[in-house]
Chain A
Amino acid sequence: MASNAAVPFWRAAGMTYITYSNLCANLVRQCLKEPHRSEALNREKVHFSISKWAEGKPKKPSRFLCSFL
């Protein structure tokens, strides 16, 4: 069976559409004028904390991380 139509270059490099879309959106946000730029970047911040599990028990969770992208 013939392969699909030419894949976009980012998919050929192993990137998914969601990663691509988020990357584009981030680039656009960084090019905004001042009040809008900090609002947009703040809006996209995500707070999460990660805890690794060993032998069925969670180890101490790492500090709250906050990042965008």
Chain B
Amino acid sequence: MLRRATTRILSHRRHCSTAEALKVPAADDLFMVAWKRTMPNLDPPKTPLSFLQPRPSTASAASIPSKMTINLVSSRSSGLSNKQVDMVIVPATTGQMGILPGHVASISELKPGLLSIHEGNEVTKYFISSGFAFVHSNSVADIIAAEAVPIEQVDPSSVQKGLAEFTQKLSTASTDLEKAEAQIGLDVLSALNSSLSG
């Protein structure tokens, strides 16, 4: 009964919408009392919420911060975390989308393309294979990608070779699935090609 009470309390907290600031309770009072009663010598367990670093509150529209905070996460590394930038351009399926501080909250699916991060005068470019971009109303953007490689690490000759190979595969493809795979190959490689030159 004790455990059900605590899970009910913890899950109740989680129901708050992302519109409000996520208050991080350091410890749940009812739970702490019960814990101390049953296990006075053991440290109380940490809940996932206590590891969460507080994010700027998603409150008023009045204060638009001057910089965006972006987190870039990919399968290879945690990329950038909490980097302050001026603008990010993401390759959404609906086209290149520029995100400035104060952008409306949105979720966009990304297609293979170039991600450019503009900070002052310097631009860092990553090629994203596919993923999602979440923009929150507090000018925090989370970009999650399966592969995010700095554009300098891309080899132009492999791209050309791949383009030729997939164009040929597309013409000889018979089943729907093969055609789709060849088409995907072409899409990705032509995006790579244009990001190398553009």
Contact = CB atoms under 8 A, between A and B. Distances in A.
B192 interface: yes
Interface string A11-38: 0111100001111110111111110110
Nearest to A31: B158
A41 to B, nearest CB: 12
Interface stretch (B48-56, B135-143, B180-188): B180-188
Contact of A31 (B76, B146, B162, B183): B162
Given A15-B177, A28-B112, A31-B189, A9 B158 contact: no
Given A14-B177, A33-B154, A27 B149 contact: no
B86 interface: no
B162 A30 contact: yes
Contacts of B131: 21
B181 A28 contact: no
B153 A22 contact: no
Contacts of A25: 75, 129-130, 146-147
A25 B145 CA distance: 9
A25 B188 CA distance: 9
Q: In the A-B complex, list the 10 residue pairs whose CB atoms are closest, starting with the nearest.
A: A13-B180, A25-B146, A13-B176, A25-B147, A24-B129, A25-B129, A28-B129, A31-B158, A33-B155, A21-B130
17 contacts: A9-B183, A10-B184, A13-B177, A13-B180, A21-B129, A24-B112, A24-B147, A25-B75, A27-B129, A27-B185, A28-B112, A32-B155, A32-B158, A34-B155, A36-B149, A36-B153, A40-B76
